[in-house]
Amino acid sequence: MEAPDRNLGLDLVRVTEAAALSSSRWLGRGDKNAGDQAAVDAMRLSFNTLPIDGVIIIGEGEKDEAPMLYNGERVGSGQGHAVDVAVDPVEGTNLLAYGRPNAISVVGIAPRGSMFNPGPSYYMQKLVVPPQAKEAVELDAPIGENLKKIAKALGKDMDDLVVFVLDKPRHKALIQEIRTAGARIQLHTDGDVAGSLMAVDPDNVVDVMCGTGGTPEGVLSACAIRALGGRMLARLDPQSEAEAAALAEAGIDCKQVFTEETLVRSDDTYFAATGISGGAFLEGVAFTGTHAVTHSLVMRGKTGTMRRIETRIRLDKLMEISAVKYD
């Protein structure tokens, strides 16, 4: 038996809260770069207070041409646990810019050397299911067959199932196959980290997330999926000749099937997410005039713990001490 030790997830949530609070001022204003920059600045400053020796494996890198929180950057105080860090200061920058639901701020950490480094891979085919269906799915099986097995594992009829799919041209055939199978669909323009979390959250109506989304987002999601006992099956899925050539040059096998356990090779994970724009998954940042209210999820893989946290922040007190201008 082990004595309880420090839950770094409760430190991480301060990082995602700061990013959400700062970026939420840009909700619906049509400037995704400004919203993302606000989140990056607040997150980076908050990281400096954490008792970790962190290296960013999944960051704001070449894909978004972001200036900070880049892959390889060191974060934290430099003291304490040596960890790999995955961040997405605003998951769903377009959702934030156009005032759409489910923009969130997310951070995951795991012991140093345990996170898969996607290198030049930007896109990944994914299938995410809750714990009850963990052994029922195969990545190469037809989606209709997988859905039948998932429904049976969950004790549901086929038309009870809700499948999260990104509304992209590449998913036209997939969407038709799901409809033919008889399952229901939630189509989202962006945000497959949120989709993965919905699929493994026991309180959410989504049962499955499938389709091709970001490789970095897949690794980040795996931190949470491990904590909640769900299953992710994934394979690199380059969407351009340039991406395919870069993967071939790097000697990366695009046929390999990953799971949440090979994307993050430790169950000692921590994950935090805070809602920015609101939605069915996490409520967004609300301003009352005197306070800000945030809603977050915090998970710890080692104990399988998930906490929902509502934070009320007095803006006048915060602004007396904060280096970030939240107002």
- Phi, psi values for residue 267, rounded to 5°: -95, 5
Smallest CA-to-CA distance from 222 within 199, 238, 244 is with: 199
Q: How far is CA 320 from CA 33, 37, 273, in A?
A: 27, 22, 26
**DSSP letter string, 184-248:** EEEEESS-HHHHHHHHH-TTSS--EEEEEEEHHHHHHHHHHHHHHT-EEEEEE---SHHHHHHHH
Q: Are 75 and 56 in contact (CB under 8 A)?
A: yes
CA 173/CA 210 separation, integer angstroms: 13
Strands 286-287 and 291-300, sheet pairing: antiparallel
Q: Are 147 and 120 in contact (CB under 8 A)?
A: no
On the CB side of 191, how many CA atoms lie within 13 Å of its CA? 32
Instruction: Scan for tokens 């041209």, then name that residue.
Output: 169
SS3 52: strand
Residue set of the binding site for substrate: 91-93, 123, 168-170, 190-192, 214
SS3 258: strand
Q: What is the CA angle 232-236-238, rounded to 5?
A: 140
CA 237/CA 118 separation, integer angstroms: 12
Residue set of the binding site: 36, 60, 88, 91-93, 123, 168-170, 190-192, 214, 217
Residue set of the binding site for Mn(2+): 36, 60, 88, 91, 217
* Tokens matching residue 68: 């900070």
CA 167/CA 74 separation, integer angstroms: 35
